[in-house]
Amino acid sequence: MCGIVGMRRFDGGGPDVEVLRDMASALRHRGPDGEGFLVRGGVGLGHRRLSIIDLEHSQQPMSSADGRLHVSFNGEILNYRRLRADLDYPYRTSGDTEVLLAAHARRGPEAVGDLVGQFAYALYDEGSDDLWLHRDRLGILPLYYYADSSVFLFASETKALLRGLGRTPDLDLDSVADYLARRSVPAPWTLLQGIRKVEPGTSLRVHDRGVGEARRYWSVPVLPRPRRTSDDQAVDAVRSALTTAVDRCLVADVPVGAYLSGGLDSSLVVSLMAQASRGRPVRTFAAGFGDARHDELPWAGTVAAALGTTHHEVRVRPEDFLRLWEPLTWHRDGPVSEASDVAVHRLAELAGEHVKVVLSGEGADELFAGYPKHRYARATRLAGLVPSAVRAALLPRLEAALPAGSGRLRIAVRAMGERTAAERMEAWFAPFLRAERRLLLGGDAGHDRLAGYAPPGNALTRMLAGDLAGWLPDNLLERGDRMTMAASVELRPPFLDPDVVALAFSLPSRTKLRSGTGKWVLRQVARTLLPPEVVDRPKVGFRVPLDDWFRTGLRDMARERLTDRGSLAAELFDRGAVRRLLDEHESGRRNEELRIWTLLSLEVWNSVCRRGSGSAAPALRTAGGGPG
């Protein structure tokens, strides 16, 4: 993967190459292998390259053979060889970048629908004077922009936009409320006013008069009714689709490895990699936390031994969080929304010593019902039959009476108390419910991203579609991209191959959730490839023991940052509510790790990215990260 930047002037002026160069320098970690710039009239493109395919050629920005089209591209087109063969074009390179020019020359902006892979790219057509921005279907790769009456700026990461603007925009309070509800900000918004995300599966046209309307070329493929299929047919179809997806993800001219937690998803990916590698050892990478409740290193070792991988491990400690929190916030351009983000980066650092590309299991839970909440999809929907006043009176009392260790039951009770079906669906992952956000912020705020969102299908299908459209791209995929690119490593998730996604949403719910256990069809595929104890063990997840750390090694830091009079928490939130949160957790009466982490991460982001007072850059230079 790479980093892209660019601008279009609306005021008759020309792009300043030095500004483009400064923007691109903020993305050096995304592309340490080279840079390039191009200006045509009022449009300027910039590029930082991480060489994965056609290492000696395919420098960018790249122009078409006739000089009419120009592209700056971040990503991988995994079906580029087939597209090259189908397109009559005078190729000068052997890579995938030139395919974008050939495809646009043939079909114009509609050609984006033919691409399989992960991508975010800008293509300027001198003939029509249109600048097009395209983002991949699932939002695996990022793309941001800013527009006013005189200029349009775009970049792979927000920090590059701020270099182009020369200032930091004001805080968007609606997006702060969104973050408290979701641990991320839903597209197209960000925490900064005027900075926007190109939404997944969307193309944006920028003409000489301003920004046109965004065009959605892909949506979550939910069918009115699932297709009729037997269990055996479903298992065979999923096995075939995943095998093809993993094969596609191995397309590279550099070494490829994989993350391996020892859970079902990553283990299944590695087993299919081992098959495709035909006897060549696969390199795998795992992280542990030294906490017996959550440490999956023994399971990762079991899978690695069974599949014969060349296995590498790293242990993550509380000190790593203190050392990396600020620099990784700089890389994230937002709050580090999951504590496991730090562990993902440590994994990427380890992987970067051996490979340039890693495969992961992202997307399996959202496609095949892997979260505990999916068991309660129907109950979440039907809870609305009970008057909200009754639920509001009873459920908070029940939740408050539950012991600190009853995490999942507590989450379920909290979710069922929300007003609307959309709010209940999102509440399963929410640090702060609507009433709690009102208390903290002193009123209502937020974007109703899922208001009116009602895809066809049963309650489970709707919940999965919501996860795939929001939670996955805005949180997990954003995390995966930033934490791996901070180490100049490319991440590829085979489960998010468009054919796998389409197949998953065509299958009946019984193939996903059965007898209270999720990912049924994946488990059947895995039974022929993995030890049974790996296939059947309960989901643990990539857990960090924050509950203990916030009572020990991270306690003083948390209290100091959240109660300081100059903090963002003091500026925005009810100080008494914040202190009670800390007191309840430290006493052991409740486990408030998620909410403390959410507030702390916002505080660190404000320090690093808004006020610029964090020591972000130096800490990652030795790992290939830091700014250029």
Judge contact between 300 and 313, C-beta under 8 A.
yes
At residue 625 the predicted structure's pLDDT band, cuts being 50, 70 and 90, is: very low
pLDDT in tens, 425-482: 888 888 998 888 988 888 777 776 655 556 778 999 999 999 999 999 999 999 999 9
Asked whether residue 572 is domain-assigned, the answer is no
What does the pLDDT average to over 359-366? 97
Residue 537: what pLDDT? 84
Q: Residue 223's pLDDT band (boundaries 50, 70, 90)?
A: confident
Closest CA to 379 of 436, 477, 268, 460: 460
User: Tokens for 398?
Assistant: 């029940």
Residue 392: the pLDDT is 75
- How many Å apart are CA 42 and CA 575, to the nearest integer? 49
With a pLDDT cut of 70, the percent of the chain lying above it is 93
Q: Is the pLDDT of residue 9 over 80?
A: yes
Does residue 615 form part of some domain? Answer: no
C-alpha to C-alpha distances, 4 to 16, 53, 554, nearest whole angstrom: 16, 17, 37
Of 427, 450, 474, which closes a domain?
A: 427
Predicted pLDDT at 549: 84
- Domains: count for the chain: 2
Other C-beta atoms closer than 10 Å to the C-beta of 298 total 11
Q: Is residue 560 part of a domain?
A: no
Cα of 207 vs its chain's centroid, Å? 29
Catalytic: which of 1, 2, 343, 464? 2
Lowest mean pLDDT segment, chosen from 18-27, 334-343, 443-452, 511-520: 443-452
Strand ranges in 181-328 using DSSP code E only, listed in sequence order: 196-197, 202-207, 210-211, 215-216, 256-259, 283-288, 310-315
pLDDT of res. 267: 97
Is residue 262 assigned to a domain? no
Straight-line distance from the first to the last Cα atom of the chain, in angstroms, rounded to the nearest whole number: 17
pLDDT of 615 reads 45
CA–CA gap between residue 80 and residue 143 (Å, rounded): 21
With b meaning 16 or more CB within 10 Å and e meaning fewer, what string describes 58-70? bbbbbbbeeebbb
Q: Which H/E stretch holds residue 358?
A: strand 357-359
d(CA 284, CA 301): 10
- Whether residue 532 has a cis bond before it, omega within 30° of 0: no
Question: Angle at which helices 593-605 and 318-332 pack, to 10 degrees?
Answer: 50
Which stretches does DSSP call E strand in 102-255?
A: 117-125, 130-135, 144-147, 151-155, 196-197, 202-207, 210-211, 215-216
Q: What is the pLDDT of residue 452?
A: 54
Q: How far apart are CA 73 and CA 36, in angstroms?
A: 12
- Check residue 263 and report its DSSP letter: S
pLDDT tens-place string over residues 59-75:
899 999 999 999 999 99
Contact 437, 177 (CB under 8 A): yes
Do residues 395 and 417 touch, judged by C-beta distance below 8 A? yes
Give the confidence band of 401 by pLDDT, cuts at 50, 70, 90: confident
Regarding predicted confidence, which is higher, 347 or 294?
A: 347
Kindly provide the b/e burial profile for residues 75-90, where b requires at least 16 CB atoms within 10 angstroms of the residue's own CB.
bbbbbbeebbeebebe
Domain span at residue 382 reads: 372-427
Check residue 395 and give its pLDDT.
Answer: 79
Q: Select from 2, 205, 228 the least CA-distant residue to 95.
A: 2
pLDDT at 540 over 70: no
Residue 58 lies in a domain: yes
Say whether 249 is catalytic: no
Q: What share of the chain is helix, strand, coil (3-state, %, to 5)?
A: 45, 15, 40
Whole-angstrom distance, CA of residue 3 vs CA of residue 169: 22
- 498 in a domain, yes or no? no
Residue 497, domain member (yes or no): no
Residue bearing the bigger pLDDT, 542 or 387: 387
pLDDT band at 492 (very low <50, low <70, confident <90, very high): very high
Residue 337 has pLDDT above 90, yes or no: no
pLDDT at 404: 66
Which of 394, 427, 460 is a domain's end point? 427
What's the pTM? Answer: 0.93
Tokens representing 332?
């994230």
Instruction: Report pLDDT for 405.
Output: 67
Higher pLDDT, residue 405 or 514: 514
**156 pLDDT higher than 80:** yes
8 located within any domain? yes
Residue 201: give its domain's CATH number: 3.60.20.10
- What integer pLDDT is reported at residue 296 of this predicted model? 80
Instruction: Decide which of 169, 185, 216 is a domain's last residue.
Output: 216
Q: Which residue has the tokens 């009419």?
A: 68
